[in-house]
Amino acid sequence: MEPAYRRDSSSRPGTPFAAAGRGYPGGGPAFVQIVPPAWRALASLCYLSGFLSIPVVFPFVVWMLYPRSRYLRGHALVAGMIQAIGMALTFLLRVPGLLFLIEENQFFMTPEQFAGALFSTDQLGTLVLLVLLTVAFITFIILPAIAGGQTAVLTRRPRRGALRVTGDDLMLAALAAAVLTPLLFYMQGVWGPMSGGGFAPAGSEGQGDSFFGLHLKYFEDPYRLFPGHVILLWSMTGLVLAVRGRLHFFGSARRLFIRFQREHRATGDARYRAAAWRALILPGWGQFFAGQRLAGLGTLAVFLLASLFWVLSAGFVYGRIVADLPGYNTNFSWNILSDLGMRANAVSDGQLRDLLASWWTFAGLSLGLALVVLYSRYTTRQIFRPGGWKFWPALSNSLLLHLVPVVAILLIPVALLPLIPPSQASQPPAGIPREFERLDEDDVALNGSAGRTGEDGESEGHRNNSERVTPVEVLPLPQSEAFADGPEPALSARDEQRSLKDESLDPEQATASESGEKEFITNADDRAEESPLKGKRKKQTYSNYLSVKIRAPEKDFRYWDRLPQPYSAVFEYKITAAGRVHSVRIVEASDYAAADELTVRLIESMSTVLPPPGEEDVVVTELFWNTGPADPELPTELQQRLSQAFDGRVIERESER
């Protein structure tokens, strides 16, 4: 299907796409090509799909659904190329963060965390980088395209090629993108609260209240600057051209588009060669191109699932290899799962790690990937042989049907957790105080005070009952085990500037620090409760509630009786806005793997809790130990600091980490 054409009756001013007499060779009758608004919207969504969490996928769908539309196919191809380039550059830049860690004051952080902390705290520096990247985009991408004459009509009939993009069109679109991008994506008044975002001088009145200030939290991910900002400018340039009903083609994209169109119409050996190289690049693509679409999608799905487990296995194996080397990131796989929004399902995190960290598992997955590539190439060849395509379609689909349940057993998206009914064991235990039946942001803070235990039974700390435990010498943990079982401590990087730092301060200092830095989690105001009125109950915190919530499974597990003496380990888990507990990680392991696994099962047994204050996702970092509070013999700096927090627990909003 092609856009409609209508004859241009005259030189009526404002005609958007002129033909004869307007730079189109050959003269002849004037035609104006009409692009439907729905097509312009689809083309625009192709460019925005990368920022709607469906990069490459949406352009591919548009490409397949509109095989006869040069307009939609052209924009889908360019949008997909732009997003693929951005994804490749981001991955290459992330490799150091996946492999190495930076140690600062005994806290570990990845290079991107360090860069994000810099970019998200300096308005002027971030603005300068944005301007420099915008100038580089126009200088090194737009101007060479105009100077080289790489814009084109992309049609065999120039007199009807009303979609032509001239150099002026491209430059105007790029300038519009340079203005629209910061306004639509970075402006403080659109994406964030009007605080901390202005450009007013320090100490001046109204500082931080500028509507046009940068929303700095957007740049906590440093790749939002590069390649993110350049990719966004490129996408917005294409979007402007799409809205105007113009094509958006550079020379390489034009040549690739023409080749795809010719191969789409090819037959015989030419079509086989086209399918063969597609099968090598991406398993399943060759079958899809040859007409066996269901089999091609099945092969592609098997390849992607096998690739996921291969990457996770490679990360766990790498973590085992570098476990004894300081400064290496052993949390490769946990970071990948976190980015994908997935977690272990029917198995614990430790069991998943043990399964995939085996050399036999890694070798088996590598062999499986090679077999999938060979299968894709072989079956693509069989399609073009008479009678050769019989058994093979059922094989790929059967393999996929058997693989999906295995994947569902091992992994599950975190987003699906609210859809899974909680087990009976995860129901709130009897005897929860009435104060916890409703947790409101105005009435309940997240954290308790450092080292505080409540006067009432439900507020007492459950971590250490030092009066019944005789202090025993604690052997220091080897550095290699500190981060072997989970991601680096959540209290790394910026956490040095957050709540853990305040746990060692008195309430007045902590309150003053919170007023100075907006990233701190609000704690209960202890100063107002130092001398409560007689008969008045203290304000409860969400940390108090978690202490009560975990008490019942502690009794069911006989947890404290089964722990070795002494024992200390740090764990991290997340609680969604709906109250689902997930992604339990061992941050600092003990010398007793069985005890660590028992603690993981204890935390996972909570399953569902009351939503956090404000119904925001939170991250809990918690120390489980059975020696005295503020024990100086605890083996790490992190454990000593956590031991001074209420019940050894610090809670942070995930959006502020």
Domain boundaries, given as residue ranges, for the chain:
42-265, 273-419, 426-527+538-656
Q: Which of 112-121, 431-440, 442-451 is predicted most confidently?
A: 112-121
Q: What is the pLDDT of residue 418?
A: 56
Q: What's the pLDDT tens digit per position in 627-641?
A: 877 788 888 888 888
Q: Which long-range contacts (CB under 8 A, 24 or more apart) does 352-356 make?
A: 352/410, 353/316, 353/485, 355/410, 356/309, 356/312, 356/313, 356/316
Over residues 527-550, mean pLDDT: 62
Q: What is the pLDDT of residue 499?
A: 39
Confidence check: pLDDT of 369 > 90: yes
Q: Which tokens hold the place of 55?
A: 């990069």
Q: What's the pLDDT tens digit per position in 558-599?
A: 888 888 888 999 999 988 887 888 878 888 888 888 888 889
Q: What is the pLDDT of residue 527?
A: 36
Least confident of 17-26, 70-79, 279-288: 17-26
Q: What is the pLDDT of residue 198?
A: 39
Confidence check: pLDDT of 363 > 50: yes
Confidence check: pLDDT of 27 > 60: no
Q: Which tokens hold the place of 391?
A: 């058994």
Q: How many CB atoms lie within 10 A of CB 387?
A: 6
Percent of the chain with pLDDT over 90: 26
Confidence of residue 388 (pLDDT cuts 50, 70, 90): low
Do 280 and 261 contact (CB within 8 A), yes or no? no
Of 302 and 478, which is predicted with more confidence?
Answer: 302
Confidence of residue 336 (pLDDT cuts 50, 70, 90): confident
Q: What's the pLDDT tens digit per position in 117-138?
A: 888 888 889 999 999 999 999 9
Confidence of residue 315 (pLDDT cuts 50, 70, 90): very high
Residue type, 31: F
Confidence check: pLDDT of 381 > 50: yes
Beta strands of 260-349 (E only): which ranges? 342-344
Least confident of 219-233, 373-387, 426-440: 426-440
Q: What is the pLDDT of residue 139?
A: 95
Select from 508, 491, 489, 509 the least CA-distant residue to 500: 491
Q: Which long-range contacts (CB under 8 A, 24 or more apart) does 521-527 make?
A: 521/445, 521/446, 521/447, 521/650, 521/651, 521/652, 521/653, 521/656, 522/445, 522/446, 523/445, 523/446, 523/447, 523/448, 523/449, 523/499, 524/445, 524/447, 524/448, 524/449, 525/445, 526/449, 526/452
Whole-angstrom Cα distance, residue 254 to residue 303? 30
